[in-house]
Amino acid sequence: MTNLVSNSKLHGSNRQALLLIWKVLYKSSGIKHCRTCYDHLAGKIGVLITEGFLKQKIIELDNDQYIVTDQGAQFFWEFGIDVDELKKYRRAFAKPCLDWSERRHHLAGSLGAAVLEKMLLLDYIRKTRNSRVIVVTSKGQQYLYDKLKVSA
């Protein structure tokens, strides 16, 4: 959009008005609220879920990676995720990924991907067509609040 405005023949106030409209639409867009980042959750909701995991002591930050606590292993098992199996993958298990819109970290790695997949399977979240935007369902809102005190 910025390229469109830059390359257009709009001048002065017309150009500034178009830029202002684009900024307002962009800032209110769902992509900042909840989206995928590669194969894991990102945006405000992805960050809040990660912070909820940290507050509930489900995961802990250890150097540049997250580790799952004993309590966390039980939490994920009850959620249907086998963390021991995920650790066998040839990729990072659980690492922080800096969220471009929130400027805080969300959960990446095989654990982050498993959380996204399980939430989709349980209909807590839904993908949107031709977009990275994720919609949190009412069922998902209830689950996130009950388990992590996250208001989606």
Contact 49, 43 (CB under 8 A): no
Tell me the pLDDT of the chain averaged across its residues: 89
Distance CA 146, CA 113 (A): 22
Q: H or E stretch including 18?
A: helix 12-27
Predicted confidence (pLDDT) per residue in 100-148, tens digit: 999 999 999 999 999 999 999 999 999 999 999 999 999 999 999 999 9
Q: What is the pLDDT of residue 2?
A: 47
pLDDT confidence of 5, banded at 50, 70, 90? Answer: very low
φ, ψ of residue 125 to 5 degrees: the values are -140, 160
- The full set of domain ranges for the chain reads 1-29, 34-148
pLDDT at 33 over 60: yes
